[in-house]
């Protein structure tokens, strides 16, 4: 490792040289001898500490690292999450990974939440930001393993949003009906292409989701043969792929595989759908698009969001709100925690309680009902009385 003096055209420059662990010699020119010596010294320390990075590797961009991270995914769901990262990098995409710093990431996280310049200034949810941060962290750890960077910059992650769904966030029967009616009749937009095309199928999907609690992918991937019209139940065995041409993919978890009973309204909806759009094969989807393709979780949710926007409903209303509607309906009818967890496909009742515990009647509610049953202001109410021996007993 040396520092050499060079003079050209009367100007003196200093060239620092060193040989890396890969055997290649590298150099850089400076205006002063001290700067050249410092640069060579820094490289020496990096090699002694095992922190030396090939400058050529450091020029690989964050976007290229994310694409490599996506290719290494083993499962389809994991690959989908990593692919989504490659689409949401914004300004990070073209930054050389060796030059990426925490302030860059902080700005990116801020844009995700406030409005993405690369996506018409539309924000994403806190849970989506957390997922993207986790995927970026994984991609940067890959960059460390492959010698592109010495260590990952700090990646902030927003606090985990509360899982509990408040009563004010539950959709009402009227709102569910309004969404279904808007889907069935369509909504004319102020400008061409800004409305919502009439879709009786989407209307039935909305009502079926409210009556079964199925996730959008589960509903989209539901086959005719998975519906038992006589017993009035659906077997949830798989879900739609990420694209309409992908076919089906495994469910989210083992617990997601379940049998869900349904009522007469859902029976009528499913029967009506198949009468209007008959199938020749029991393996086909119950619900299909106007082109005869399978719906996906994405197309279902996006169509639902357009309806919500046109109807002016709150931003917390998503297709998942229909699942919450179903759960709250079961709870109001007196269903146990275990039953609700089973029909929703939760891995354990603890998950169900985390989201819906406050919807079950508490001690205060039971106390009010007990006192009301006494009927203090009317004759004939139930309550403590004295028997013939003067002892208290419940009537």
Percent of the chain with pLDDT over 90: 46
Please check whether residues 237 and 303 belong to one and the same domain: yes
Within a domain: 345: no
Please check whether residues 219 and 136 belong to one and the same domain: no
Please check whether residues 181 and 320 belong to one and the same domain: yes
In this prediction, residue 70 has a pLDDT band, given cuts at 50, 70 and 90, of very high
Q: What pLDDT was estimated at residue 24?
A: 79
Alpha-carbon distances, residue 280 vs 14, 39, 98, 225, 285 (angstroms)? 80, 73, 57, 12, 11
- The count of domains in the chain is 4
Q: Vertex 340, ends 338 and 341: CA angle to 5°?
A: 65
Within a domain: 103: yes
Domain range for 70: 62-145
Reading the block at residue 89, the tokens are 């990098």
Q: What pLDDT was estimated at residue 58?
A: 62
For 74-118, how does the pLDDT look when each residue is reduced to its tens digit (9 = 90+)? 877 788 889 999 999 999 999 999 889 999 999 999 999 888 999
Per-residue burial over 226-252, b if 16 or more Cβ lie within 10 Å, else e, is bbeeeeebbebbbbbbbebeeebbebe
Does pTM top 0.85 for this prediction?
no
Please check whether residues 286 and 225 belong to one and the same domain: yes
Within a domain: 375: yes
For 202-218, how does the pLDDT look when each residue is reduced to its tens digit (9 = 90+)? 999 999 999 999 999 99
Please check whether residues 209 and 295 belong to one and the same domain: yes
Please check whether residues 312 and 187 belong to one and the same domain: yes
Please check whether residues 180 and 238 belong to one and the same domain: yes
Q: Interhelix angle for 337-344 vs 349-356, to 10°? A: 100
Within a domain: 225: yes
Q: Which residues pair with 374 in a beta bridge?
A: none
**Mean pLDDT value across residues 371-388:** 55
Within a domain: 343: no
* Beta-strand runs (E) in 88-194: none
Within a domain: 358: no
Within a domain: 305: yes
Q: How does the average pLDDT of the chain come out, rounded?
A: 85
Contact 288, 201 (CB under 8 A): yes
Within a domain: 107: yes
Please check whether residues 197 and 244 belong to one and the same domain: yes
Of 148-152, 318-322, 385-389, the least confident: 385-389
Please check whether residues 225 and 284 belong to one and the same domain: yes
In this prediction, residue 163 has a pLDDT band, given cuts at 50, 70 and 90, of confident
**Mean pLDDT value across residues 234-252:** 85
355 Cβ partners below 8 Å, 6+ apart? 163, 164, 165, 324, 327
Tell me, what CATH number does 261's domain have?
1.10.443.10
For 265-302, how does the pLDDT look when each residue is reduced to its tens digit (9 = 90+)? 999 999 999 999 999 899 999 999 988 889 988 889 88
In this prediction, residue 7 has a pLDDT band, given cuts at 50, 70 and 90, of confident
Give CA–CA dist 71/379, Å, rounded.
76
For 183-193, how does the pLDDT look when each residue is reduced to its tens digit (9 = 90+)? 999 887 656 66
Please check whether residues 182 and 253 belong to one and the same domain: yes
Please check whether residues 179 and 314 belong to one and the same domain: yes
Long-range pairs for 227-235: beta carbons < 8 A, 24 or more residues apart: 227/270, 227/286, 229/267, 229/270, 229/271, 231/261, 232/261, 232/262, 232/263, 232/264, 232/266, 232/267, 233/259, 233/260, 233/261, 233/262, 234/259, 234/260, 234/262, 235/259
Please check whether residues 242 and 328 belong to one and the same domain: yes
Give CA–CA dist 94/97, Å, rounded.
9
């Amino acid at each position: 490792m040396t520092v050499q003096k060079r003079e050209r055209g009367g100007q003196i420059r200093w060239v620092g040289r060193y040989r890396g662990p890969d055997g290649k010699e590298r150099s850089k020119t400076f205006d002063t001898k001290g700067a050249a010596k410092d640069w060579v010294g820094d490289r020496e320390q990096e090699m002694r500490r095992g922190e030396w990075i090939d400058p050529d590797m450091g020029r690989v961009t964050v976007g290229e690292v994310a694409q490599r991270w996506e290719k290494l995914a083993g499962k389809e769901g994991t690959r989908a999450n990593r692919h989504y990262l490659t689409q949401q990098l914004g300004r990070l995409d073209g930054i050389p990974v060796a030059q990426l710093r925490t302030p860059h990431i902080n700005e990116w996280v801020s844009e995700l939440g406030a409005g993405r310049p690369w996506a018409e200034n539309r924000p994403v949810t806190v849970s989506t930001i957390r997922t993207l941060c986790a995927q970026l962290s994984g991609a940067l750890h890959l960059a460390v393993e492959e010698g592109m960077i010495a260590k990952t910059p700090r990646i902030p992650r927003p606090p985990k949003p509360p899982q509990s769904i408040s009563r004010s966030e539950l959709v009402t029967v009227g709102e569910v009906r309004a969404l279904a009616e808007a889907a069935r009749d369509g909504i004319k937009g102020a400008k061409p292409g800004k409305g919502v095309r009439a879709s009786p199928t989407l209307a039935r999907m909305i009502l079926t989701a409210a009556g079964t609690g199925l996730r959008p992918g589960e509903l989209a991937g539901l086959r005719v043969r998975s519906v038992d019209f006589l017993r009035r139940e659906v077997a949830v065995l798989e879900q739609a792929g990420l694209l309409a041409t992908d076919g089906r993919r495994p469910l989210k978890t083992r617990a997601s595989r379940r049998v869900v009973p349904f009522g007469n309204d859902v029976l009528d909806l499913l029967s009506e759908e198949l009468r209007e759009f008959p199938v020749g094969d029991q393996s086909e989807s119950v619900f299909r698009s106007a082109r005869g393709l399978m719906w996906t979780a994405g197309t279902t949710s996006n169509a639902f969001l357009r309806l919500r926007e046109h109807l002016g409903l709150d931003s917390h209303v998503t297709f998942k709100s229909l699942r919450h509607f179903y759960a709250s309906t079961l709870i109001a009818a007196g269903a146990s925690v275990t039953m609700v967890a089973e029909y929703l496909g939760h891995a354990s009742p603890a998950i169900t309680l985390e989201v819906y515990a406050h919807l079950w009647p508490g001690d205060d509610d039971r106390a009010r009902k007990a006192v009301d049953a006494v009927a203090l202001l009317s004759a004939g109410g139930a309550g403590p009385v004295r028997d013939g021996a003067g002892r208290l007993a419940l009537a």
